[in-house]
Structure 1
Amino acid sequence: MKTTNKRTSRRAALAGALLAGLLAAPVAQAQTALGGAPAAAAPTGPWTLQAAIDYALAHNLNVRQSQLSAQNNKAVLTQSKAALLPTLNLNGTQTWNYGRNVNPLTYEYENQTIRSNNFSAQSQLVLFQGFQLRNTIKRNDLDYEASLRDIDKARNDLALNVASAYLQLLLSEELIKSNQSRVASSQAQVARTQILLKAGSVAESNLLDSQSQLASDESNVITATNQRDIARLNLVQLLNLDGSAAATFQVDAPQLADPDAEAPYALDLNQTFETAAGTLPEIKAAELRVQSARRGIDLARGGYYPRLSLFGSVVTGFSSSGTSRVLTGDSTATVLPVYQYDPLNPGGTPTLTNFAVVGPTQANYKFLPSGFFDQLSDNVGRTVQFALTIPVLNGLQVRTGVQRAIINEEANRLRAEQARLTLRQSIEQAYVDARAAQQQYAAAKRQVAALTLSQRNAEIRFNNGLLNGTDYNIAKNNLTFAESNRIQAKYSFIFRRKVLDFYQGKPLTL
């Protein structure tokens, strides 16, 4: 009994290790041929792998978040392009002044309530700024392109995660079938042992051992069923299915060729790496971010250059105290009397004569409040200004910014090299794992064949009372363990090969 429990624990541990290995596969280095297709509808029948991938790509939240991030970078790029355009702002104010205040138009002190309006239009255009505006555009364009590659990477990761969960579910289903066949065999063995016990051919302990083995096999079925339910839940969560669709979720189980049905798996690792490095979005994104960091250096160095701007404004205003002189249309003549001086008496008083002089007429006028639009027209003022700023000393901010930009460029270059190194290591690891899984399958298949004969021989001896129940259960459990190894090696090889196919740009299909 202890031996049986130990075997069961080993099978559960091995199945768990395979699940962890599949989910920890280098899913980040796979290329997908799927584009931005419309939202896929849930199929009515069993789900194929392609249908599961299409649906996940259309409904997964991580992919949507990557898309929103790219849209944000696009908005930043648009804003940086708009920075090349001149700015234009319109301003208007309305003010009431009470008591003694300065008239904003006549600049005289007046003791009255004055309502005034000021209107202005201001525009500014940067003529030169050390090429910072154009370098900002180029940097933001590279960042936007990198974010598009991030979307592709998120889609690739999701596609391989779905494939991993899909194959894990198929593996669990096959393990259930294998364990159910063991249960059927154990039930038949119990029935035979009961007959032999009644006939007196075997001892009662044989029946107890057979019943113990049956209970162990039934427990294995329950364990495999639980693993199947977990794998199914993982896949449903990746697809982001609602409750009704998840309740009826089933996968299509295609006929998969055995690993030993083909020649030993061989692959040109260098060619696969070059193909993957030229097509995988994460490699391209890393290279784009290196270029973006280099533009960041040029952008920071632009702070050393002078800045030249053109500024223009138009202002006008209105005041309720504003007046204008208006002619009344009347005129007044001036009459001046004529006096005569005695030349012989220069210091005497002049004598009024009977003559008079009529002066020119003077036009009459009065001051009236000026109209609103008349004042706006009369008070227009214009300004044109060139502003030149030459940086001399600003707390070493520009120099520090350049140094930080250089460090950032070096960091991004190292990330790009690390991405390529990780890709090469992932390809090599996936290839070694695929070869090992193929060889393990072949060995497990031969082991199953040998243990099948051994188990049949043990069953015959057990039925004839020549073998005790413990040894018989050990032989049967050895066969179960070998069969489990064979199935798991098969699916491990299939997944690793699909990962390598993805590296080579092939579609992800079963």
Structure 2
Amino acid sequence: MQNKITEMMYKTWILSGWLCVAFVGARAQEAKTWTMDDCMRYAAENSLKVRAEKHQDDTYRAEYRAAMADFFPSVGMRIGGQLNYGRSIDPQTNTYNNVSTFNNSYQAYASLPLFDGGQLVNRAKAAAINRQLGAHEVRRVQNEAALAVMEAFSNAVYYGGTVRLAIEKLDESRQTLHKTRRMEELGLKGAADVAQVEAIVAADDYNLIHQQNLYDAAVRTLKEAMNYPAEDALMMDTSVMVWRENATTLSAEEIFSRAVTDNPTMRAAECRRLAAQHLYRVARGAMFPQLTFEAGISTNYFRNLADPHTTAFSRQFFDNNRGEYVAVTLSIPLFDGLARYTSARRARNAMRMADVQRDETLRQLRTAVEQAVADRDGFEKEVVQMARKVAADSMAYRVTLRKYEEGLSSAIDLQTAANTLIEARANLLQKQLSYEIKRRLVAYYASDCEWSTINYEPKK
């Protein structure tokens, strides 16, 4: 009995230990603070589009291996069995008879293309380029997911900041209402003043609820962009909103020159153009004659079912019926309903469209780089000016509050000054976040080492 009690206590102690570990782990998971880079990296690793593109990348790699394997000889084997009833040819006498026979044939052969108009070579080159295309496409989709999360994260941080500003404004309004009521008791303010301040408190309370709803919607959008579980909590690090003067000093032209060679979208477009050129050569090569070398060995076993004296299987298989052959085949296409001509024309048009798409991607990239640099520089100046405006509006609000307490201004003047200050602070936060987004975007186009949110290297 004592042993059972001891055993039960031991199991209970073990279970309690595991529960504590699980509880601590869950608390640690809940307490994790997600930075912008963490969210971007999570999206790059868990986006459904990234997963789909990785499968496509694996397909490109399989096609490359198949294209390289086409250079090796094709080896095959044929085995057949035939049972004849009635009139047939006797392979021993080469005459017709009416007996039942059994014929078992074996053949092993290998074929190798000697000339096919360059189809094998160009198909292998196109497959090699598509393999690079798969890696660039994975990188491109990862970057798109990360950029979408960067914007969604900034929106969530912005509305989180407006919620804090609304809380501060509501607290100040409640303090002002308390002071106004005390001043009414002392005869310094009237009932109208108290009513006006109460209306301000109600408006601030509504604004807080409205900003909280906007923040919740922004967090849901962020989770959706990250492919993050909607039921899990997401605690964000808002330090990203601190403005840092560490932008790259490269000009827009220098950044564009880097982006042309390093941007995955541009490299993918270039890969499509090169692959289309090789596929056009493949289609054009199908119009040339094809020369194929083939070699093989064959044998068979024959038995007359009515004759008990049949030559042994091993003797027929290895000695009597075995034969080898070597052949060179020349295939000349003459007319196939214009199928080869149509394929070549379709491939030529695909090549030309790939050239146009590459030029369009180049133009869009230049425009995006110039716009990103201009927006970054513009937001940098706006941040400086808005910070000065916040300082001036803060001083004006304090002066108005002082005048209100001394009876020299009305509650409407106080509300106007407070709203002006809150709006300025919210605009400053928005400009800081906009500057941070554009600064990171310019660093992305410049392939700056600071852009390290994604660290994916496809398997070789």
| Equivalent residue number for residue 275 of structure 2 | 292
| Equivalent residue number for residue 189 of structure 2 | 202
| Equivalent residue number for residue 376 of structure 1 | 317
User: What is the DSSP-based 3-state SS (H/G/I as helix, E as strand, rest coil) of the residue aligned with 1:289?
Assistant: helix
> Aligned equivalents of 2:60 and 2:325: distance in 1?
38
> Aligned equivalents of 1:413 and 1:275: distance in 2?
21
Preserved CA contact (<8 Å) 1:56 1:158: yes
| Equivalent residue number for residue 298 of structure 2 | 315
> Aligned equivalents of 2:41 and 2:379: distance in 1?
29
When residues 318 and 105 of structure 1 are mapped into structure 2, their CA distance, relative to the original with a 3 A threshold, is farther
Cα offset for 1:484?
A: 1.3
When residues 427 and 309 of structure 1 are mapped into structure 2, their CA distance, relative to the original with a 3 A threshold, is same
User: What is the DSSP-based 3-state SS (H/G/I as helix, E as strand, rest coil) of the residue aligned with 1:140?
Assistant: helix
The residue correspondences of 1:29-108 to structure 2 (distance < 5 A) are 45-103=32-90, 108=95
Which residue identity lines up with residue 210 of structure 2 in the other structure? T
Report whether the alignment pairs 1:434 with 2:434. no
> Aligned equivalents of 1:309 and 1:264: distance in 2?
62
Cα offset for 1:53?
A: 3.5
| Equivalent residue number for residue 185 of structure 1 | 172
Cα-to-partner distance string for 1:9-47 (whole Å, 9 max, x where unaligned): xxxxxxxxxxxxxxxxxxxxxxxxxxxxxxxx9796312
> Aligned equivalents of 1:105 and 1:208: distance in 2?
122
User: Over aligned residues, Cα RMSD in angstroms?
Assistant: 3.0
Cα offset for 1:464?
A: 5.0
Which residue identity lines up with residue 317 of structure 2 in the other structure? L
Cα-to-partner distance string for 1:110-153 (whole Å, 9 max, x where unaligned): 44443332222232221111111111111111111122111222
When residues 50 and 460 of structure 1 are mapped into structure 2, their CA distance, relative to the original with a 3 A threshold, is closer
The residue correspondences of 1:319-358 to structure 2 (distance < 5 A) are 319-321=302-304
Report whether the alignment pairs 1:117 with 2:104. yes
| Equivalent residue number for residue 147 of structure 1 | 134
> Aligned equivalents of 1:314 and 1:498: distance in 2?
67
Report whether the alignment pairs 1:476 with 2:418. yes
Using structure 2 for the length normalisation, give the TM-score. Answer: 0.82
| Equivalent residue number for residue 29 of structure 1 | none
When residues 420 and 384 of structure 1 are mapped into structure 2, their CA distance, relative to the original with a 3 A threshold, is same
| Equivalent residue number for residue 24 of structure 2 | none
When residues 456 and 315 of structure 1 are mapped into structure 2, their CA distance, relative to the original with a 3 A threshold, is same
Preserved CA contact (<8 Å) 1:265 1:435: no
Report whether the alignment pairs 1:419 with 2:368. no
| Equivalent residue number for residue 11 of structure 2 | none
| Equivalent residue number for residue 266 of structure 2 | 283
When residues 207 and 166 of structure 1 are mapped into structure 2, their CA distance, relative to the original with a 3 A threshold, is same
Preserved CA contact (<8 Å) 1:431 1:496: yes
Report whether the alignment pairs 1:251 with 2:236. yes
Cα-to-partner distance string for 1:371-420 (whole Å, 9 max, x where unaligned): 22333232223333221122333334434333333322221122112112
Structure of greater Rg: 1
When residues 50 and 450 of structure 1 are mapped into structure 2, their CA distance, relative to the original with a 3 A threshold, is closer
Which residue identity lines up with residue 343 of structure 2 in the other structure? G
Cα offset for 1:474?
A: 3.0
**2:160 aligned residue (160, 173, 188):** 173
> Aligned equivalents of 1:411 and 1:171: distance in 2?
43
Using structure 1 for the length normalisation, give the TM-score. Answer: 0.75
User: What is the DSSP-based 3-state SS (H/G/I as helix, E as strand, rest coil) of the residue aligned with 1:85?
Assistant: coil
When residues 208 and 198 of structure 1 are mapped into structure 2, their CA distance, relative to the original with a 3 A threshold, is same
When residues 459 and 43 of structure 1 are mapped into structure 2, their CA distance, relative to the original with a 3 A threshold, is closer
Preserved CA contact (<8 Å) 1:305 1:390: yes
Cα offset for 1:239?
A: 3.7
> Aligned equivalents of 1:452 and 1:50: distance in 2?
33
Cα offset for 1:322?
A: 6.8
When residues 92 and 241 of structure 1 are mapped into structure 2, their CA distance, relative to the original with a 3 A threshold, is same
> Aligned equivalents of 2:31 and 2:392: distance in 1?
43
Instruction: Report % sequence identity.
Output: 24
> Aligned equivalents of 2:252 and 2:69: distance in 1?
47
Which residue identity lines up with residue 451 of structure 2 in the other structure? L
Cα-to-partner distance string for 1:163-195 (whole Å, 9 max, x where unaligned): 333333332322222111101101101111211
Report whether the alignment pairs 1:508 with 2:451. yes
When residues 267 and 315 of structure 1 are mapped into structure 2, their CA distance, relative to the original with a 3 A threshold, is closer
When residues 172 and 391 of structure 1 are mapped into structure 2, their CA distance, relative to the original with a 3 A threshold, is same
Cα offset for 1:160?
A: 2.5
> Aligned equivalents of 2:266 and 2:92: distance in 1?
66
Cα offset for 1:75?
A: 0.8
The residue correspondences of 1:11-26 to structure 2 (distance < 5 A) are none
User: What is the DSSP-based 3-state SS (H/G/I as helix, E as strand, rest coil) of the residue aligned with 2:182?
Assistant: helix
Report whether the alignment pairs 1:304 with 2:273. no
Q: Which runs of 5+ in 1 are unaligned?
A: 1-40, 325-366
More helix, by proportion:
2
> Aligned equivalents of 1:255 and 1:88: distance in 2?
62
